[in-house]
């Protein structure tokens, strides 16, 4: 495959994984958690690197899961001590992220792992760093990792679709039916973490938040079915990734920045033209009088 094709595949995988996970982040009202975890996985990666001295995919995933769950646990714990939810999130993630930065600067000093890279990502280098896989042949490392994560996310969401649905909509009922709500919360945090860490190389910690939240927020405006929202959000993720790449190629600028920007444009488009929730349809349709009459 060509250089451009690899970049598009990689970016599309980011778009799909983040799009699917993002739907549940939004519906669970946990958009801020995405921001938090996207930063604290840095600590997980650094610790994984310090222990194993290599920057391989599986180690990074395990480190990220560890960091993600640690973040969720700390936030829950602070919140249980009367610290408001948003303050607990803000305190925990900045502290853990700072710890990651300190560790990188003082212990790691490796060309592959620096703060700039972690924050902004660098998709342009991805196609050069290839690994040879059986059957498929030469695949960029980051792309292979993303494909693995996308599969994990997809299988977890499809296999436990109705459990995700009920624990998101009505956790109290779910618990009374015997569904382990808290356990699923931590599984979900793990999924967010591995999605984030796999997307790191491509788009970085800051842009991954855009990919997680914005396509899902756009999809929310278009449909009234959860399954449709998941599908649309995944598609929006891919569209943003591809459009973003071509914007970047056109005006010769940052690819990850352009992709995040494309999600914003897509949201604006949805906000204006979505059939029921869009601004224009609200203008055109007379306001429904309520059932009270």
Partner 1 sequence: MGKVVLKVNDLAAAYRKNTVLHDVNFAVEAGSLTGIVGPNGAGKSTLIKTLLELHPALTGEVQFFGASFKKMKTRIGYVPQRGSVDWDFPTIALDVVMMGLYGQIGWLRRPAKLHQEKAYEALDKMGMADYAERQISQLSGGQQQRVFLARALVQNADLYFMDEPLAGVDAATERAIMNILKELKATGKTVLVVHHDLQTVEDYFDHVLFLNRTVVEHGRTAQVFTDENIAAAYGGNMRGMRGGKFHVVRPVEQ
Q: Which residues bind partner 1 (CB under 8 A)?
A: 27, 29, 82, 159-163, 165-166, 168-170, 172-179, 220, 223-226, 228-229, 290-292
CB nearer partner 1, residue 40 or residue 168: 168
Which pair of tokens denotes residue 151? Answer: 């599969």
Q: How far is the CB of 34 from partner 1 (least distance, A)?
A: 18
CB nearer partner 1, residue 114 or residue 163: 163
Query: In whole angstroms, what is the distance from residue 171 CA to residue 191 CA?
Result: 19
CB nearer partner 1, residue 76 or residue 124: 76
CB nearer partner 1, residue 115 or residue 175: 175
Q: How far is the CB of 85 from partner 1 (least distance, A)?
A: 15
Q: How far is the CB of 150 from partner 1 (least distance, A)?
A: 20
How many whole angstroms from its chain centre is CA 94?
Answer: 18
CB nearer partner 1, residue 7 or residue 26: 26
Smallest Cα–Cα separation from 211: which of 224, 225, 226, 198? 198
CB nearer partner 1, residue 129 or residue 170: 170
Q: How far is the CB of 185 from partner 1 (least distance, A)?
A: 14
Q: How far is the CB of 180 from partner 1 (least distance, A)?
A: 11
Residues in Cβ contact with 202 at an 8 Å cutoff, skipping those fewer than 6 apart = 10, 11, 14, 121, 123, 126, 142, 146, 256
**How many CA atoms does the CB half-sphere of 47 hold within 13 Å?**
18
Q: How far is the CB of 226 from partner 1 (least distance, A)?
A: 5
Query: In whole angstroms, what is the distance from residue 48 CA to residue 261 CA?
Result: 32
Which pair of tokens denotes residue 56? Answer: 């391989």
Smallest Cα–Cα separation from 220: which of 210, 229, 207? 229
């436990």: which residue's tokens?
A: 160
């Amino acid at each position: 495959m060509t250089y451009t094709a690899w970049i598009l595949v990689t970016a599309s995988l980011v778009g799909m994984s983040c799009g699917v996970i993002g739907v549940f982040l939004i519906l669970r009202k946990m958009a801020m958690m995405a921001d938090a975890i996207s930063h604290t996985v840095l600590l997980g990666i650094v610790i994984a690197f310090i222990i194993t001295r290599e920057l391989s995919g599986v180690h990074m995933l395990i480190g990220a899961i560890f960091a993600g769950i640690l973040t969720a646990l700390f936030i829950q714990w602070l919140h249980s001590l009367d610290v408001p939810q948003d303050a607990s999130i803000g305190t925990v993630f900045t502290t853990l992220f700072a710890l990651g930065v300190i560790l990188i600067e003082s212990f790691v000093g490796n060309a592959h792992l620096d703060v700039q890279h972690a924050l902004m990502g660098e998709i342009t280098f991805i196609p050069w760093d290839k690994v040879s896989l059986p059957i498929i042949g030469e695949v960029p490392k980051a792309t292979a990792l993303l494909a693995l994560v996308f599969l994990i996310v997809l299988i977890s969401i499809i296999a436990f679709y109705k459990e995700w649905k009920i624990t998101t909509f009505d956790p109290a009922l779910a618990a009374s039916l015997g569904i382990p709500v808290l356990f699923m919360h931590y599984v979900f945090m793990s999924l967010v973490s591995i999605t984030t860490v796999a997307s790191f190389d491509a788009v970085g910690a800051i842009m991954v938040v855009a990919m997680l939240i914005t396509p899902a927020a756009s999809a929310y405006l278009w449909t009234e079915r959860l399954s449709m929202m998941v599908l649309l959000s995944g598609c929006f993720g891919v569209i943003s990734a591809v459009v973003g790449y071509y914007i970047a190629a056109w005006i010769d600028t940052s690819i990850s920045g352009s992709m995040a920007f494309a999600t914003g444009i897509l949201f604006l488009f949805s906000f204006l033209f979505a059939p029921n929730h869009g601004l224009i349809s609200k203008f055109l349709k007379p306001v429904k009088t309520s059932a009270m009459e």
